[in-house]
Amino acid sequence: MADVVLFHHVQGLTTGVVALADRLRAAGHTVHTPDLFEGHTFPTIEEGMAHARGIGFGAIAECGVAAADALDSPGVVYAGLSMGVMPAQQLAQTRPGARGALLLHGCLPVAEFGQSWPAGVPVQVHGMDADPFFAEEDGDLAAARALVDAAPGDAELFLYPGDAHLFSDSSLPEFDAAATDQLVERALALLAGV
């Protein structure tokens, strides 16, 4: 079974993020859900973004790295939802022993972390094909496609029909149960192979 660190999105560690982690736990995986916002949750992306800007995205990423350091566990799969992709992707790309990555609702350019995607580290990117945060021109979708091209065999991109951003968070109005079921099935396949 895999050891997973799942970083929450900009609305905080919501009950929907915990529910997603619980679905992975139900399959036998250990899933850690560090709270990068110290208990704060926000009803909208805009309010969460204002909070994140106040903290600073660099500080949030550092907090995520520190949370992973505190686990003292080699061979972790790093996962993140939207904003949580920042520390997840950074750790997967730069930390020796990373076993995989699940990038949900977001993807950064590989060059953001100064090196190519590490060979042998499987990664999945999941997003909706009309999500304005994910699919905008030169945005996350372009970065995801570049990642898949640069890491053939190790990287997969899954697009779901729709325009919801945080569709896998069951506590939010944009939750899409069918898409989330597919996402979980695919994520469990990656976890089973690491």
Tell me what pLDDT residue 126 has.
98
> What percentage of the chain reaches a pLDDT higher than 70?
99
3 state SS for the chain: CCEEEEECECCECCHHHHHHHHHHHCCCCEEECCCCCCCCCCCCHHHHHHHHHHHCHHHHHHHHHHHHHHHCCCCEEEEEEHHHHHHHHHHHHHCCCCCEEEEECCCCCHHHHCCCCCCCCCEEEEEECCCCCCCCCCCHHHHHHHHHHHCCCCEEEEEECCCCCCCCCCCCCCCCHHHHHHHHHHHHHHHHCC
CATH code where residue 158 lies: 3.40.50.1820
Tell me what pLDDT residue 89 has.
96
Tell me what pLDDT residue 73 has.
75
Number of structural domains, the chain?
A: 1
Tell me what pLDDT residue 108 has.
95
Q: Which domain holds residue 63?
A: 3-192
Mean pLDDT of the chain: 94
Tell me what pLDDT residue 105 has.
97
Phi-psi region of 29 (alpha: psi -120 to 50; beta: other; left: phi over 0): beta
- The pLDDT of residue 115 is above 80: no
pLDDT in tens, 94-113: 998 899 999 999 999 999 98
Q: Averaged over 122-147, what is the pLDDT? A: 93
Q: 177-192 vs 15-25: helix axis angle to the nearest 10?
A: 40
Q: Averaged over 133-140, what is the pLDDT? A: 86
pLDDT in tens, 138-174: 779 999 999 999 887 899 999 999 999 999 999 999 9
Model confidence at 25, pLDDT cuts 50, 70, 90, reads: very high
pLDDT in tens, 49-93: 999 999 999 899 899 989 988 887 778 999 999 999 999 999 999
Tell me what pLDDT residue 42 has.
96
